[in-house]
Amino acid sequence: MIISMKKGATPEEIDHVRKLIEEMGYRVHESRGEERMIFGAIGDERTKHRLASLEAQPGVEKVIPILAPYKLASRETKNESTVIDLGGGVKVGNRKLLVIAGPCAVESLDQIMEVAAAIKESGAHMLRGGAFKPRTSPYAFQGLMNDGLYLLSKAKEAYQLPVITEVMDAASIEIVSEHADCLQVGARNIQNFPLLKEVGKTRKPVLLKRGMSTTIEEFLMSAEYVLSSGNSQVILCERGIRTFETATRNTLDLSAVPVLKEKTHLPVIVDPSHGTGHARYVEPMAYAAVAAGADGIMIEVHARPEEALCDGPQSLHPSEFKAVMEGIRRIAQAVGREV
């Protein structure tokens, strides 16, 4: 349920209503707009009728049921789009488009430094790189693990780029959080609910990648796990879904962008690298994602894609990435955004 306070409600009235909601056994989610305070009451649906009585309290404008199953992620709870601070002045969810770039996996100090320098020069805002790599084959490169995190930190320090990397399980959250500015939950873990609860207990921004067979409602319910655990800094990433088509690695569902923007206040970004699986398709799909209203783009970049230990066929060379950035700027300007 949503409890909307009147414009001009006093601090005493707001505190009193907050206390009453908690006494009824509900957790309180606060959303302070420019003119009024809105409370989201999260708890047992069977007793929500008790909350209706709050309309009689001084300062309360109305009590509204939330129809969507994802209570905290819904625009019913918070109409204003959420803006998330990723560190170093980098934000996502506002007018400025976020560009995340870097290799699929951290392979060496020279490799991550070379890529970080190149993407920084081209105008990217955040460095990506996998230290722990979930691979379909147990014989494929699994990442440098803790050493990879250390190398990411070196690149972050050298080029003043916030860092995002994947967290694989609850046991690694603490050490990943020491090195990363944003925790990525990959497509294979999007419905790993114990992991979602644990990253929800951190105060780090969390990027959730849509699963290969995850519906939009299931995707938002995964975000709800993080939000309901106390972490309001959730970013959604469309990275392609599994269909019958084999011409591309996945089918990049760009219709998910406007649908998500309508249903949730959370920022939405797109990963055309994993979405297509082919470097030659990344540029047009990146442009299409910006035009569709995405808040950001995540692109894989490697100095020598032909030698990459992971996802070389979908990685752009730094010179190709530079050209894509120039195109992204033009598309962004055309749709009222900036890079």
| CATH superfamily of domain region 84-334 | Aldolase class I (3.20.20.70)
Residue ranges matching CATH 3.20.20.70 in the chain? 84-334
Residue ranges matching CATH 3.30.70.1140 in the chain? 2-64
Give a three-class secondary structure readout of the chain: CEEEECCCCCHHHHHHHHHHHHHCCCEEEEEECCCCEEEEEECCHHHHHHHHHHHHCCCEEEEECCCCCCCCCECCCCCCCCCEEEECCEEECCCECEEEEECCECCCHHHHHHHHHHHHHHCCCEEECECCCCCCCCCCCCCCCHHHHHHHHHHHHHHCCCEEEECCCHHHHHHHHHHCCEEEECHHHCCCHHHHHHHHCCCCCEEEECCCCCCHHHHHHHHHHHHHCCCCCEEEEECCECCCCCCCCCECCCCHHHHHHHHECCCEEECHHHHHCCHHHHHHHHHHHHHHCCCEEEEEECCCHHHCCCCHHHCECHHHHHHHHHHHHHHHHHCCCEC
Q: Residue 94's pLDDT is what?
A: 96
pTM, 2 dp: 0.89
Q: Which CATH architecture has domain 2-64?
A: 2-Layer Sandwich (3.30)
Q: Residue 43's pLDDT is what?
A: 79
Q: Residue 38's pLDDT is what?
A: 87
Per-residue pLDDT of the chain (339 residues; tens, 9 = 90+): 889 999 889 999 999 999 999 999 888 888 777 678 888 888 777 777 889 899 999 999 999 888 888 989 999 888 899 999 999 999 999 999 999 999 999 999 999 999 999 999 999 999 999 998 877 788 788 889 999 999 999 999 999 999 999 999 999 999 999 999 999 999 999 999 999 999 999 989 999 999 999 999 999 999 999 999 999 999 999 999 999 999 999 999 999 999 999 999 999 999 999 999 999 999 999 999 999 999 999 999 999 999 999 999 999 999 999 999 999 999 999 999 999
